[in-house]
Structure 1
Amino acid sequence: MTHRIKLILAGASALLAFKASPSHAESTLSFLIDNNPDTVAAAEALVAAYQAKVPDVTIEIEPRAGGGEGDNIIKTRLATGEMSDVFLYNSGSLLQALKPAQTLVDLSGLESQVKVDEGFKSVVRADGKLYGVPFGTAMAGGILYNRKIYQDLGLTVPKTWADFMANNAKVKTSGKVAVAQTYRDTWTSQLFVLADYYNLHAVVPNFAADYTANKAKYAETPAATKGFERLKDVHDAGLMNEDFGAASYDDGLRMVATGEAAHYPMLSFAIGAIKQNYPENLADVGFFAQPSDDAQTNGLTVWMPPALYIPLTSQHAEEAKKFVDFAGSVEGCKIMVETNTVQGPPLIDGCDLPADVPPAVKDMLPYFEAKGKTTPALEFVSPVKGPALEQITVEVGSGIRQPAEAAKLYDEDVRKQAKQLGLPNW
């Protein structure tokens, strides 16, 4: 009897120990993101939802700077083996510059990849492998505008650059800032160049292929130089806020949302930040594609969202994969959409648009619904993007450098980048 009691007690102890142990070892993941408010909000919502499902995993979020400074942080930490377990970074050409086959974990086998849009997969693929999952929706580059100002001044959305400048002149006469520019955050200075790619592609359809093959140059292609000329036009007409050199991205959002400024050239991911910081003004902000020289060929330049990646140096790669898989799922997509509002069409099958999308998103949808009215930004159809562009566009937008000179300087910057990537013909 005593022997039987001992066996029963031993078995009970073993059962309790089994039940008390977690399904897997407790672990902590580090998660590096950029410091934009909408990014932070989406990341926090994803982490909270995942930790509720998997309480044995703790995820620590670390914000970093954006723009060129952020690029350097990513490259340095990858090179030194100090990268976080999961990190958020651009898809497209900037990803290729990281040499993903040598630095990142292959995520091709994640269950969530089955429902990811093929267009997005093409911009996180290298050597036949997938290295990222989308963080957010597709977005576009163009002009955020204040709908109240347009209504008060009787303005209509422009399709041509001439009409855009005419609208700006009327705004300036009214005493408002016509075009908000925010060169303290240098990356924001690139939009007039980058968002003009649809217009460039419409005139020179083979530009991306020829540019990648070192057969086409910005300085030798008038349609490509146009973007730099747009910056000069706005500066020379005195349309910008006086503090454009010191103003930040957040200042630009405030100005266009509250009606201090009529226009802010920006990517549509800013819609999420406006919802976070100026929710009462969200319905006052609209969006249109960067105007072209010909209204018949005007269309929208589209950006794929950034992606989540895992470095090969992660000590918790398997746990990191589970979190990234969750972020790329329909559930993860819906969490981000509900947190930051919609910035464009979702890229996960089954993650549908809500009925109450903001006016700026509704303004974008006709471009996506019409045949031939969108094209991916150049950085998604060519691996080449010079890292110094944002400094060059600040100089042009500040009246320091002329467009033709800027285009030549950028061509030289691109040459260095192409050589680093080992592209043929460079």
Structure 2
Amino acid sequence: MTKTSRRIALAGLSAGLMAMTALTGAAHAQSINLTYLIPSGADGVAVAEELVKSFEAANPDINIDIETRPGGSEGDNLVKTRLATSSMADIFRYNSGSLFQAINPAQFLVDLTNEPWQADVQASFKQVVTAPDGTVRGAPMGAAMGGGIYYNKAIYEELGLSIPKTWAEFMANNEKIKAAGKVAVIQTYGDTWTSQLFVLADYYNVSAKDPSFASRYTAGEAKFATDAAALRGFEKLQETHDAGLFNEDFGAAKYDDGLRMVASGEGAHYPMLTFATTAIAASYPDMLDNVGFFAQPGDEADLNGLTVWMPDGLYIPNTTSNLDAAKRFVAFVASVEGCEAQTRAGGASGPYLVNGCTLPDDVPPAVSDMLPYFAEGGQNGPALEFLSPIKGPALEQITVEVGSGIRPAADGAALYDEDVRKQAQQLGLPGW
């Protein structure tokens, strides 16, 4: 019986499988059995299986059974219930950021602050798995995503353009692209969520100017309409619209249209999250090398950096009866060997937040373009939604209005502040 044949979704089978394993030889008779809970998506299961396979090969005294759970709100509720009822698996994968805070990490999760491997975890990730008491409770699981701008490399080469480090340089590039008769900035408001990127991907620039913004925002002290750095995201959206840089069908075009346009050269720039690289590879594999990526520029070149959507965390509940073995698995995942296992299983979608982890030489340009922001001396930081529980639900409707010329940037920011106020009050946050 092979170890991969023990991958199960029903914990009730574990005892029988352990008994069968014990019959295969004395070497496994005293083995430790761990359970590992993950979301049920096929990609995530494949990565988990490769991680467990590699870990077990190096740790023959430990066997790990994989359990799966639903995603979305159903999965959130299951995680909270299992933690509250002391029935959580020995290790589990879950969100970082605001959803991590919602599971009461200081009460339910093992403190991993002083584990030796934390020295190699990037600080930008640690802050999104830090409990209110200042302790670090998780390890990175998966690759980071960037929020920024895809660009068509052929257009840049044809027009002799350089990657912009400031917003002024970006707009100068756009004017040259427009003068050449090409679409400078692709927008796809037929899928309203895509309209948010100029605002959301600008957060690194906000935090570079004001590192305290997230905490002041959560406390009701900082507002988008009255904070000059935060307002800039809305202003950038208005500026690009008012300059006539968009595709004619921006109000009806869909996300898939945006991917096709930037890959084929129908447009030069598409503001988006880098998870779209996988979609481009699937739908337009012959055009994947045409697409590069850069961080959304701010107003000062020396503050240029990338807004990052952080990967999930790997956590250990304080109810585990196999703490040392669980820590060994988490340490493996947060290592170069763990990164390599993830790449083997799921390909390379972005940089890992563990120092020393590298990606294959043949990754798409849009992935390799992200790496300097994560290298030593590079600059990256979490998106606001990983640092604050507040994200108003109406943002995508408001950014459609600002990006369509219906509402000025300042009015849009003020309307979003009101949307945020309602949500903060629903959450019962102080200061609102």
TM-score when scaled to structure 1?
0.72
Q: What is the rounded CA distance, in whole Å, between the counterparts of 2:296 and 2:306 in structure 1?
A: 8
SS at match of 1:223: helix
For 1:255, the equivalent position in structure 2 comes to: 261
Q: Is 1:341–2:348 an aligned residue pair?
A: yes
Q: What is the rounded CA distance, in whole Å, between the counterparts of 1:416 and 1:53 in structure 2?
A: 47
Residue 220 of structure 1 deviates from its aligned partner by 1.0
Tell me if the contact between 2:150 and 2:291 (Cα under 8 Å) persists in the aligned partners: yes
Q: Which amino acid aligns with 2:121?
A: V
Residue 423 of structure 1 deviates from its aligned partner by 5.1
For 2:414, the equivalent position in structure 1 comes to: 408
Corresponding residue to 2:308 among 299, 303, 306? 303
Q: What is the rounded CA distance, in whole Å, between the counterparts of 2:343 and 2:420 in structure 1?
A: 35
Deviates more, 1:80-89 or 1:273-282: 80-89
Residue 326 of structure 1 deviates from its aligned partner by 4.4
Q: What is the rounded CA distance, in whole Å, between the counterparts of 2:210 and 2:134 in structure 1?
A: 29
Q: What is the rounded CA distance, in whole Å, between the counterparts of 1:334 and 1:154 in structure 2?
A: 37
Q: Let me know the Cα RMSD of the aligned residues.
A: 4.4
Residue 124 of structure 1 deviates from its aligned partner by 0.2
Residue 218 of structure 1 deviates from its aligned partner by 0.9
For 1:106, the equivalent position in structure 2 comes to: 110
Q: What is the rounded CA distance, in whole Å, between the counterparts of 2:319 and 2:267 in structure 1?
A: 45
Corresponding residue to 1:32 among 15, 35, 39? 39
Residue 376 of structure 1 deviates from its aligned partner by 1.8
For 1:4, the equivalent position in structure 2 comes to: none
Corresponding residue to 1:239 among 246, 252, 268? 246
Q: Is 1:360–2:366 an aligned residue pair?
A: yes
SS at match of 1:123: helix
Q: Is 1:95–2:93 an aligned residue pair?
A: no
* 1:291/1:114 CA distance change after superposition, 3 Å: closer
Corresponding residue to 1:123 among 120, 128, 134? 128
Corresponding residue to 2:50 among 48, 55, 62? 48
Q: Deviations over 1:3-37 (max 9, x none)?
A: xxxxxxxxxxxx9686497666988755216x6xx
Q: What is the rounded CA distance, in whole Å, between the counterparts of 2:177 and 2:266 in structure 1?
A: 11
Residue 299 of structure 1 deviates from its aligned partner by 0.6
TM-score when scaled to structure 2?
0.71
Gaps of 5+ in 2: 1-21, 58-62
Q: What is the rounded CA distance, in whole Å, between the counterparts of 1:407 and 1:133 in structure 2?
A: 35
How is 1:15-414 mapped onto 2 (pairs within 5 angstroms)?
19=26, 30-32=37-39, 41=43, 43-51=45-53, 54=56, 57=64, 59=66, 64=71, 70=72, 72-78=73-79, 89-101=94-106, 105-106=109-110, 108=112, 113=118, 115-126=120-131, 127-172=133-178, 176-183=182-189, 186-204=192-210, 206-236=212-242, 237=244, 239-240=246-247, 242=249, 245=252, 247-248=254-255, 250-275=256-281, 278-292=284-298, 294-297=299-302, 299-303=304-308, 305-309=310-314, 326-338=332-344, 339-341=346-348, 343-344=350-351, 346-355=352-361, 358-367=364-373, 374-377=379-382, 379=384, 382-388=387-393, 389-414=395-420
SS at match of 2:416: helix
Q: What is the rounded CA distance, in whole Å, between the counterparts of 2:257 and 2:75 in structure 1?
A: 26
Residue 143 of structure 1 deviates from its aligned partner by 0.9
Q: What is the rounded CA distance, in whole Å, between the counterparts of 1:314 and 1:180 in structure 2?
A: 50
Q: Deviations over 1:269-308 (max 9, x none)?
A: 444554555444333222222233x454551133262223
Q: What is the rounded CA distance, in whole Å, between the counterparts of 1:41 and 1:99 in structure 2?
A: 28
Tell me if the contact between 1:232 and 1:396 (Cα under 8 Å) persists in the aligned partners: yes
Q: Deviations over 1:181-214 (max 9, x none)?
A: 3456554432211222233345455534543443
Tell me if the contact between 2:148 and 2:307 (Cα under 8 Å) persists in the aligned partners: no
Q: Which amino acid aligns with 2:229?
A: A
Q: Which amino acid aligns with 1:218?
A: F
Instruction: Give the share of equivalent positions with the same residue, in percent.
Output: 47
Residue 149 of structure 1 deviates from its aligned partner by 1.7
Q: Deviations over 1:300-357 (max 9, x none)?
A: 133262223559699999798776554333322123345432623x322442455555
Count, aligned residues: 396
Q: What is the rounded CA distance, in whole Å, between the counterparts of 2:366 and 2:24 in structure 1?
A: 56
* 1:394/1:329 CA distance change after superposition, 3 Å: farther
Q: Which amino acid aligns with 1:302?
A: T
Gaps of 5+ in 1: 1-14, 65-69
Q: Deviations over 1:342-384 (max 9, x none)?
A: 623x32244245555543355445555696x735245278434
SS at match of 2:147: strand
Whichever of the two has the greater Rg, that structure is 1
Q: What is the rounded CA distance, in whole Å, between the counterparts of 1:393 and 1:288 in structure 2?
A: 21
